[in-house]
Amino acid sequence: MRAFLNKRKKLAAVLLLLLTAGGIFAFSEGDKYFQIAKNLDIFAAFYRELNTYYVDDLPPEKVIHKGIEAILEETDPFTDFVTEENLDDLKFMATGKYGGVGASINKSGDWTIITDVYEGSPMYKAGVKPGDIIVTMDGKSVKNTPQEEISKTLKGAPGTSLDILFRNPVSGVETPRKIVREEINVKAVSYTGITGGDIGYIRMTQFTENSGAMVRAAVQQLKQSNPGMKGLILDLRGNPGGLLDEAVVVANIFVDKNKLIVSTKGKVKNWDRNYETSEQPVDTRLPLAVLTNHSSASASEIVAGAVQDMDRGLVIGQRSYGKGLVQTTRQLPYNTKLKVTTAKYYTPSGRCIQAIDYSHRNEDGSVDYVPDSLRKKFTTQGGREVRDGGGIEPDATVEPTYISQVAVSLIRKQYIFDYATTYYYKHPKVAPAGDFSLTDEEFSDFERYLDNKDYSYKTRSEDALETFKTTARKEKYYDALTKELEALEQKMKHDKKQDLLKNKTEIKRLLEEEIVNRYYAQQGRIAKSLAWDRDVNEAISVLHDAVRYKKLLSPGK
């Protein structure tokens, strides 16, 4: 956070925009609006004088944008000024649509490579594969071109074309392709299927326009195709939210018509509103598990909170993010917008799950989480105790899965990705995604592939020892402990080969996911991951155990 005095200087610039010449209304001295008008006038005069007499030129747009940024530092991170060039990003958040080619990219040395191709997209139709290297775009070499610049070029109005020269990562053969941009619609439901034999599974990645209808159709399709289905998992992990109305539509799939799902309350009382279900549900009895983690936010938490408060199902996984704020967009001049927090939302039990208190700042401008001591108790319809102020706490907590340091290094250095590319060109066909498995000999081949490759890393224990040594030096204990610390350091030195074997199961799974992604796209990756997903397996276990399911939904569990 910048110091207040520095912020004040920056505020002068932007507030000039808000002031009309003259036109200051008369208010009483104690009136808040008089204070606003008074200070707007002061800041406008300040900027006018500064701009006129300051020794160097002050570019208005740059100065004003800095002023806007300074104002926004006093708000929450969800309130933002949206420039004209960023309106497409705002549209994508609401609709899940953008103009482009339908592929993900990443840097690999001097070049940019394709990491994912969306099924049915322009890149997919052109035969582009993950691992392909972008050599030129419209005849211009893109070697050492920043990834952001390439990403911007790949996006564009539907119907426009882009000539790209690709290099095969294995053969080195270069192939020119004309890619015609289309409207790309990122699906809110990224996977639907059966797991655990008889448990439906739906992964929802965002709450964009019509996403609720997509989830409803997915539930109906699962029920129709699997009449013996014993339960359903709605996976909202990593889902950052989106449109509040769509959250109500999703909740409506599982609860009766005319039920309160969420209410919003803000400064403008006329905008306060209760959101109730308006359609007949698909199923109100099928055992339900909603998966959350710390990246499940906003609309995801509305659904999870409603399911929990109404005792319609269980929340499983980790505590959610804790975003209980509602944003509205307001039109500004010159095709710009203000995305502003206008209200807080409350689950059916009356709790607001906002975890960070932005209204009370520390002296340095920082903000804190709501302490547990101030979190109030509420009750679900069935009498279970729930709390506000800290996201949605799961009914069945699962410890998060952490990837080993050696696996993190292999991912960052792209060795798992590159090996999957090599594997793909050596094997024209593989087993279905859920059945595919690397043999021990193939894993040994991966080990040989890593020979003479640098994937050095520090273990967490080594980092902790380094911190301890630094502290010991500061406190003058290091000399007395030198021998012991050196002996401990020697014992902790890790053998990369041994770490590979020690974490073989984990690395093998990561390899398998990346490989099946080449043959069956994102659907295949998800299908392969379900077998060892701890949150999913816990949900399957609970949904298969009627006694435990009922107990977790009972007060005083």
The answer, yes or no, to whether residue 498 has pLDDT greater than 90, is no
- Where residue 495 falls among pLDDT bands split at 50, 70, 90? low
The last residue of one of the domains, among 185, 202, 232, is: 185
Separation of alpha carbons 40 and 34, rounded Å: 10
Question: Does a structural domain hold residue 338?
Answer: yes
Question: Does a structural domain hold residue 105?
Answer: yes
Averaged confidence pLDDT in the chain:
90
Separation of alpha carbons 251 and 318, rounded Å: 20
The answer, yes or no, to whether residue 246 has pLDDT greater than 60, is yes
Could you tell me which of 127, 121, 132 has the C-alpha nearest to residue 155? 121
Neighbouring C-beta atoms of residue 207, cutoff 10 Å: 30
> CA-CA-CA-CA torsion for 88, 91, 92, 97, nearest 10 degrees?
-100
Angle of CA points 309, 208, 72, to nearest 5°? 85
- Residue 393: what pLDDT? 97
Structure tokens at 420: 């999957």
- Are 223 and 352 found together in one domain? yes
pLDDT in tens, 213-241: 999 999 999 999 999 999 999 999 999 99
CATH code of residue 151: 2.30.42.10
Separation of alpha carbons 134 and 144, rounded Å: 11
Question: Does a structural domain hold residue 296?
Answer: yes
pLDDT in tens, 436-450: 999 999 999 999 999
- Residue 493: what pLDDT? 63
pLDDT in tens, 414-437: 999 999 999 999 999 999 999 999
Which of the 8 DSSP states describes residue 531?
G
For range 115-133, the mean pLDDT: 95
Return the bridge partners of 180, or none: 161
Separation of alpha carbons 325 and 345, rounded Å: 6
- Are 253 and 329 found together in one domain? yes
pLDDT in tens, 360-386: 888 887 888 988 888 999 999 999 999
The last residue of one of the domains, among 156, 185, 214, is: 185
- Are 169 and 218 found together in one domain? no
For range 285-292, the mean pLDDT: 98
Structure tokens at 315: 């929340």
- Where residue 557 falls among pLDDT bands split at 50, 70, 90? low
The last residue of one of the domains, among 154, 185, 216, is: 185
Separation of alpha carbons 46 and 272, rounded Å: 38
The answer, yes or no, to whether residue 151 has pLDDT greater than 60, is yes
Question: Does a structural domain hold residue 543?
Answer: no
- Where residue 15 falls among pLDDT bands split at 50, 70, 90? very low
Question: Does a structural domain hold residue 77?
Answer: no
User: Could you tell me whether strands 260-266 and 140-141 are parallel, antiparallel, or unpaired per DSSP bridges?
Assistant: unpaired
Separation of alpha carbons 290 and 508, rounded Å: 28
Q: Which residue has the higher pLDDT, 486 or 204?
A: 204
- Are 345 and 215 found together in one domain? yes
Structure tokens at 452: 């003479």
Tell me which range, 32-36, 69-73, 321-325, 454-458, is most confidently predicted by mean pLDDT.
321-325
Determine contact, residues 346/262, Cβ cutoff 8 Å: yes
The answer, yes or no, to whether residue 178 has pLDDT greater than 90, is yes
- Are 387 and 415 found together in one domain? no
Which of the 8 DSSP states describes residue 253?
T
- Residue 494: what pLDDT? 64
Report the side by side order of strands in the sheet with 199-204: 189-195, 199-204, 231-235, 288-292, 314-317, 396-397
Question: Does a structural domain hold residue 548?
Answer: no
- Where residue 147 falls among pLDDT bands split at 50, 70, 90? very high
- Are 392 and 412 found together in one domain? no
Return the bridge partners of 103, or none: 117
Neighbouring C-beta atoms of residue 361, cutoff 10 Å: 13
Separation of alpha carbons 186 and 183, rounded Å: 10
Task: Concatenate the DSSP letters of all residues of 80-117 into one string.
Answer: EEE-GGGHHHHHHHHHSEEEE--EEEEEETTEEEEEEE
Amino acid 162 reads L
Amino acid 96 reads G
Which of the 8 DSSP states describes residue 41?
H
Question: Does a structural domain hold residue 85?
Answer: no
Contacts of 302 (CB under 8 A, 6+ apart): 241, 244, 247, 248, 251, 261, 262, 345, 347
- Are 500 and 373 found together in one domain? no
- Residue 385: what pLDDT? 96
- Residue 26: what pLDDT? 47
**Distance of alpha carbon 422 from the chain centroid:** 30
Question: Does a structural domain hold residue 89?
Answer: no
- Where residue 2 falls among pLDDT bands split at 50, 70, 90? very low
Structure tokens at 515: 């490989």
Separation of alpha carbons 393 and 309, rounded Å: 11
- Are 491 and 428 found together in one domain? yes
CATH code of residue 228: 3.90.226.10
Determine contact, residues 325/76, Cβ cutoff 8 Å: yes
pLDDT in tens, 297-355: 999 999 999 999 999 999 999 999 999 999 999 999 999 999 999 999 999 999 999 99
Amino acid 54 reads Y
- Are 171 and 312 found together in one domain? no
Q: How many residues does the chain have?
A: 557
What's the domain count of the chain? Answer: 3
- Residue 34: what pLDDT? 86
Active site residues: 298, 309, 323
Determine contact, residues 364/1, Cβ cutoff 8 Å: yes
- Are 452 and 525 found together in one domain? yes
- Are 111 and 197 found together in one domain? no
pLDDT in tens, 163-172: 999 999 999 9
- Where residue 486 falls among pLDDT bands split at 50, 70, 90? confident
- Are 267 and 382 found together in one domain? yes
- Residue 30: what pLDDT? 56
Which of the 8 DSSP states describes residue 530?
G
Q: Which domain holds residue 106?
A: 98-185
pLDDT in tens, 510-542: 999 999 999 999 999 999 999 999 999 999 999
Task: Concatenate the DSSP letters of all residues of 114-180 into one string.
Answer: EEEE-TTSHHHHTT--TTPEEEEETTEE-TT--HHHHHHHH---TT-EEEEEEE-TTT--EEEEEEE
Q: What is the pTM of this model?
A: 0.87
Separation of alpha carbons 268 and 342, rounded Å: 8
Determine contact, residues 366/1, Cβ cutoff 8 Å: yes
Separation of alpha carbons 25 and 45, rounded Å: 17
Separation of alpha carbons 528 and 509, rounded Å: 8
The answer, yes or no, to whether residue 408 has pLDDT greater than 90, is yes
